[in-house]
Structure 1
Amino acid sequence: MTNSIDEIAGADFILAIGTNTTESHPIISLKAKKARRSGATLVVVDPRRTEMAELANVHMQLKSGSDIALLNAMANVIIEEEIWNKDFVANRTEDFEALKATVAKYTPEYAEKITGINAKTIREVARGYAQAKNATILYTMGITQHICGTHNVFAVANLAMLCGHIGKESSGVNPLRGQNNVQGACDMGALPNVYTGYQAVTVDDNRAKFAKAWNVAELPAQPGLTVGDMLDKAGTGEVKGMYIMGENPVLSDPDSNHVVHALKKLDFLVVQDIFLTETAALADVVLPAASFAEKDGTFSNTERRVQRVRKAIDPVGNARADWQIICAVSTAMGYPMHYASTADIFDEIASLTPSYAGISYSRLEQGGIQWPCPNADHPGTTYLHKDTFSRGLGKFNPVEYIPPAEIPDTEYPLVLSTGRRHFHYHTGTMTQRTGALELHYGTEYLEISQADAATLGVADGDNVRVLSRRGQVEVMARVTDVVPKGLVFTSFHFPAVAINKLTNPAKDPVAKIPELKVCAVKVEKAC
């Protein structure tokens, strides 16, 4: 997030796009509700009529995958009516003319044909966002899990810069992370192209710095593979072994039949996890990891806040903290790792990572600190880009709308989208072992519109078969007005409804994120 969670409550305009905030981020949604009670305008852009949409002043129920057309149309209105922040654009950005030329054709009337949103509504929302004192954009994987996910984010950033709603309080571009330490994992270089703090592996000085710290002669200059690329190469036999930590791709990744095939083709698979997941069941070796309550360390949350995690109990059975397992494996493989504690590891992180340089365990004892924190006297940064962007001027990146990789046809006439439910988490690895949540919400269902249900002869509670070009699952139907005609929706939490057998592995060519939010399916009543 460019800004902080608390700042959401101070916004007077909130554009929530591709985020089911009340279910996926209930604590953050409290800030949006507080802003709404204080008079803020809340606009929700979502194909489904979620609880968040029910709270909104305006619900823009767009067609799945048409976000760029909508965002470009809003930019078109703002430029056409000359209500953009001229001072901010002139002094803090570049390539405005390129953006202006690209969005010229995206009139609200043109966008209405693509998005299904009334042109008048597009104009009203664009004016409201541009003329607000403090406007914030919230988004999640409804924006990123598309073949144009990177370009969706560009379109969001274009809109924020166009109106000067960045670099100040209660504004900004704010992706809400889906898990408790996703931000921290990325900060620590758990990406194929960077070291800690997003220091590129392709930069000679970065490689030299880390090679010296790790006492090795040299480090590879070539970025590694993404998760999807690894699985693809495992399927073709190019990758022979894999080490999976805290991830359950058999249920969470698209086209999961292919995932299972790829993992079974490996010569050797290691899984490190706290439970025997569906992925761990395929492993040659399972390494039992400690849960958050059984280990020390830090988490970095969605607002860039680094916080201490303190061990409450000793690890149960043979479980160990992840860092201890990694050190033991590395040492056994010939590269000794002899850290004495997580504090030692964090000191190394701070010494190599400019954005973490001023953070230490002793400071974190007093409370969390938001990076960048460049030195020990720095209080941390509540919001980014106050006076300048990291590259100097903010760059407009004009983008064009492209349709999803797979659109409905006569054989597969419906769009399937997936997401989260309030009572469960990710692939259910933890939340379906509580003895409580699974009793309250123990069975998954497929949301289907009344019109589609009537056409198919499906009643509420019927078992239906959902089929795509990649597989099929059976699930109970929930006839509802939450989804519009032509769209069906369910979660990926339930192993019994392994919905990612159906989803499309087509990837965004830049970030390599799969298009989990749109695939073509057909639904039929199960016998």
Structure 2
Amino acid sequence: MIKLIIDGQAVTSEDGGSILKVARDNGIKIPTLCYLEDVSEVGSCRICVVEVEGRDELVTACNTPAADGMVILTNSDKVRESRKTMLNLILANHNKDCFNCGKNGMCELEALCREYEVEESTYVPTKKQEQKVYKDQNPFLVYDESKCIQCQRCVNTCAHVTGRKAIDVKRDGTHMLIDLPFGEDWKSTLCESCGNCSQACPTGALTEKRRKEYREWQTKKVRTTCPHCATGCQYDLVVKDNKIVDVIAADGPSNHGKLCVKGRSGSFDFVHSPDRIKYPLIKNKKTGEFERASWDEALDLVASKFMEIKKKYGSDSLAGFACSRSPNEDVYMVQKMVRTCFGTNNTDNCARVCHSASVAGLAMTLGSGAMTNPIYDITHDVDAILLVGSNPEEAHPVVGMQIRQAVQNGTKLIVVDPRDIGLTKYADIHLKIEPGTNIAFANGMMHIMIEENLIDKKFVEERTEGFEELAEIVKDYTPEKVAKICHIEKERLIEAARMYATANKAPIIYCLGVTEHSEGTRGVMSMSNMAMLCGKLGREGCGVNPLRGQNNVQGACDMGAMPTDFPGYQKVKNPDVVKKFEEAWGVELSKEPGIHATDVFPAAIEGKIKGLYIYGEDPVVTDADTTHIIKALKSLDFFVIQELFMTETAQLADVILPGMSYAEKEGTFSNTERRVQRVRKAVDLTQNPEFDIRLDTDIIIDLMNRMGYPQKQMTSAEIMDEIASLTPSFAGISHERLDSEECAKNALQWPCTSKDHPGTPIMHVGKFSRGLGWLYPTEYTPSKELPDEEYPLFLMTGRILYHYTTRAMTGRTPGLMEIEGKSFIEMNEQDADRLGIKDGELVKASSRRGTIQTTARVGTKVSPGETWMPFHFPDGNCNWLTNAALDPFCRIPEYKVCAIKVEKIK
């Protein structure tokens, strides 16, 4: 510790920090314009200068180390005069058209000039305003050089915060120029349109175009959680006249002030979209058209039809799916309705088709089916990252930014993926394995680890079981054999095994490239096996870390929207658990596990499932083998959906109940790292006379009462209190606590077992949830459908940066559709040349299940014999082609591997 005196105040601080940091830590304000904490401390603006006793010259506080015994003045006449001079110089070349500037009211330069009473510059400008660059071709961002002060915050943000390096610094003689990628060629640049640069800009030089729609003093800000991927980014919704007009990133525990393009620009247009479903709709059986209904008509019909089916065919003829994009409280009420009113455990959520393999696999091997470590922990101060079947730059962009940062800071990166993803160019090793060979790869890694004595023997002996059986299996997976199966070089596999095993801190990060296979659960257990063999569980910078796809996939599983589990993964087969919920809910419950969502559809075709309730999911678009899903929904006697938009699934419903978006309700989301964070109401569309909508939980509660269950009215906070009372891992979580100063920065990560429990950042410290970790004996099995003479190509599927699942949200943001708005299929140039297909041409893709048209993108991102498609676009939805072959453990479809043929359209 060092002791200083700042403005007459005695302060102490840890040695090694700057004067600016010490001052800020002690509540002493020193102004800055170019400084960004932990990013840029170049001191070029010289606004942060201070006096230090014993020195003649002023020093820049941002990059001058604080030293013991320093006596510092931050606001002396000499300091103020210097700052006034610098502001005077800056204004010489600055366009002071403040009234027309989008940053008016939030401009840091404007605020400083007002504070230091600098209204006009006394210096002659060195460059005429008409000579300055103006770029506005990007759909979201605009650059006005006339307002640029060359602070380089945007440059440093792009290079060191997002790790993208899309902004350059150039010189024109004596002038320094910031070269922003927003001109006519913006689509061909490295820019991701994330807007982090614009938020860093202290003036109106770099702004979001929508800032012209409002001024700061006209708005209110509401802190909430992003509704897209499960990173759980925190931001403020900016609201003007009951309409969301902007998003500003907050310093949340998972995003640290960063946002991706979807979070910043694709998370609010849909809320106010004119094609929202505005009132209840009942389908006229004669005409097939939807007709407006009152709430009483719609709810009475829904309740009576479901109870009629239950009476006639039994409870297990009904099923209800929750929405993993909705808050925890909503999910809880859906599964409660299914269990108490339908009388069945036939409840599920869309994790069934993405990450149910993580829940099942990690629960079997470790005892808890969740990410083991926080995002920050596995992307900062780690020696190596093993990234398997995950493309975080596009599917979890803010995590991708942090991985790019980690690599810049010296972290080794191993990418295991059949495609050349963006992070490949940063990787030390890229194992471009054949689709569906994850288990062979993992077994090969473990073979090398054991053979070369790279395992943590003490950890294996003390904390695991099953080593002998696993070792016997992987003995056969030699580098030569695995190289042949995976189509990789054996030397690279050996190098990867050594790099991961010998690193002190090395997390495994994986995603849908591991789970969405017919052997997805065993693939997850293989990830767990590798970590346990090397003792990389239960400690910092390590672990097995599935990046959950949607914003509340983790929470939907946590809340018991699963046919086998009550909230908190309490098993339906456990009589004591059933008894607890029966006593709490006051009704007899089914003791038999329900059927999974992916089994509900064939059961509907067979006539076993007669009635289905879906809250907020669109399986026609998202589930494998679209023809099969449509047939199933048409086979139902009665189908109800609670939705925001007329989705392809909603079109098949008998009744549509209009829902509310995340911005219109209170609640919580649980992100991929088990962090429970608040969702807060920002707008109220019921004030609009066109809307006759209700809170989703109120709809569910009304239905429960009409179906004969006496469910009392509850707020979202009260629902969470009920969850906590029945769920040991959530026992210490409440809205009141999450809203408190205690949780303002980090929220709470479950398990949080009491009201004074701090939450659990890292799982399995000292002991696994199941006791001993199970080294599961995994054998490689090929995918269910492989290329053959008729269908000679692999098809893989996935997400892209600019859209989210079915585009229900992002598709209603015109700028995102301008960047990427149509279906495409990636092909290797060798296959394209053989088939006579050129880049950009329209092609026909077919599998045994269907045929679609799409556009060819020819290159080398995929290997010869392989193709890849996103599933976002209706003009060529790849799920007409995908295979619904199911994993035996968790019934997850094999999205990542099926056989297709591609033909040139003549």
The aligned counterpart of 1:487 is: 866
Match of 2:693 among 319, 323, 329: 319
Deviations 1:251-301 (A, max 9, x none): 110110110011011111111111111100110101111000000011111
The aligned counterpart of 2:739 is: 365
Deviations 1:62-106 (A, max 9, x none): 000001011000000000111100111111111111111010000
Superposed counterparts of 1:168-187, under 5 Å = 168-187=539-558
Match of 1:478 among 846, 857, 873: 857
Structure 2 residue 486 is matched with structure 1 residue 112: no
**Partners in 2 of 1:155 and 1:86 — Cα distance?**
18
Where 2:453 maps in the other structure, the secondary structure is: coil
Match of 1:340 among 714, 718, 728: 714
**Partners in 1 of 2:481 and 2:564 — Cα distance?**
38
The aligned counterpart of 2:514 is: 143
Q: How many residues align?
A: 526
The aligned counterpart of 1:228 is: 598
The aligned counterpart of 2:401 is: 30
The aligned counterpart of 1:156 is: 527
Structure 2 residue 538 is matched with structure 1 residue 167: yes
- Offset of 1:186 from its aligned partner? 0.5
Match of 1:411 among 771, 775, 790: 790
Letter in 1 for 2:491: K
Structure 2 residue 634 is matched with structure 1 residue 269: no
- Offset of 1:156 from its aligned partner? 0.6
Match of 2:654 among 269, 284, 290: 284
Where 1:436 maps in the other structure, the secondary structure is: helix
Instruction: Quote the sequence identity (%).
Output: 50
Indicate the structure whose relative CO is greater, using CA pairs within 8 Å and at least 6 residues apart. Answer: 1
Superposed counterparts of 1:293-312, under 5 Å = 293-312=663-682
- Offset of 1:315 from its aligned partner? 3.8
Where 1:133 maps in the other structure, the secondary structure is: coil
- Offset of 1:435 from its aligned partner? 2.0
Where 1:474 maps in the other structure, the secondary structure is: strand
The aligned counterpart of 2:767 is: 388
Letter in 2 for 1:472: T
Superposed counterparts of 1:199-218, under 5 Å = 199-216=570-587, 218=588
**Partners in 2 of 1:403 and 1:340 — Cα distance?**
50
**Partners in 1 of 2:459 and 2:407 — Cα distance?**
27
The aligned counterpart of 1:526 is: 905
**Partners in 2 of 1:440 and 1:452 — Cα distance?**
27
- Offset of 1:169 from its aligned partner? 0.7
The aligned counterpart of 1:76 is: 447
Decide whether the 8 Å contact of 2:641 with 2:655 is kept in 1: yes
The aligned counterpart of 2:834 is: 455
Superposed counterparts of 1:18-97, under 5 Å = 18-97=389-468
**Partners in 2 of 1:246 and 1:127 — Cα distance?**
45
**Partners in 1 of 2:548 and 2:514 — Cα distance?**
12
Letter in 1 for 2:811: Q
Structure 2 residue 566 is matched with structure 1 residue 195: yes
**Partners in 1 of 2:466 and 2:606 — Cα distance?**
43
4+ residue stretches of structure 1 with deviation over 4 A? none
Deviations 1:185-213 (A, max 9, x none): 10000111000000000000000000111
Letter in 2 for 1:448: M
Please list every run of 5 or more consecutive structure 2 residues that lacks an aligned counterpart in the other structure. Answer: 1-370
- Offset of 1:34 from its aligned partner? 2.0
Q: Which moved more, 1:493-502 or 1:65-74?
A: 493-502
Letter in 1 for 2:606: T
**Partners in 2 of 1:300 and 1:315 — Cα distance?**
25
| Greater Rg over alpha carbons, structure | 2
- Offset of 1:29 from its aligned partner? 1.3
**Partners in 1 of 2:768 and 2:599 — Cα distance?**
32
Letter in 2 for 1:449: N
Where 2:507 maps in the other structure, the secondary structure is: strand
- Offset of 1:431 from its aligned partner? 1.1
TM-score (norm 2): 0.58
Decide whether the 8 Å contact of 1:74 with 1:122 is kept in 2: yes
Match of 1:252 among 619, 622, 640: 622
Deviations 1:493-515 (A, max 9, x none): 01111210110000001010000
**Partners in 2 of 1:379 and 1:226 — Cα distance?**
34
- Offset of 1:447 from its aligned partner? 0.5
Deviations 1:118-142 (A, max 9, x none): 1111111101111110110111111
- Offset of 1:318 from its aligned partner? 2.2
The aligned counterpart of 2:845 is: 466
Match of 2:896 among 511, 517, 522: 517
Decide whether the 8 Å contact of 1:67 with 1:152 is kept in 2: yes
Deviations 1:380-406 (A, max 9, x none): 111100010011111110110000000
Where 1:10 maps in the other structure, the secondary structure is: coil
The aligned counterpart of 2:96 is: none
Decide whether the 8 Å contact of 1:355 with 1:371 is kept in 2: yes
**Partners in 2 of 1:152 and 1:196 — Cα distance?**
25
**Partners in 2 of 1:137 and 1:399 — Cα distance?**
18
**Partners in 2 of 1:408 and 1:320 — Cα distance?**
49
Q: Which moved more, 1:311-320 or 1:259-268?
A: 311-320
- Offset of 1:340 from its aligned partner? 2.7
Where 1:473 maps in the other structure, the secondary structure is: strand
Decide whether the 8 Å contact of 1:242 with 1:268 is kept in 2: yes
- Offset of 1:362 from its aligned partner? 1.5
Change in 2 beyond 3 A, CA 1:352/1:315: farther
**Partners in 2 of 1:428 and 1:59 — Cα distance?**
31
TM-score (norm 1): 0.99
Letter in 2 for 1:263: L
- Offset of 1:337 from its aligned partner? 1.7
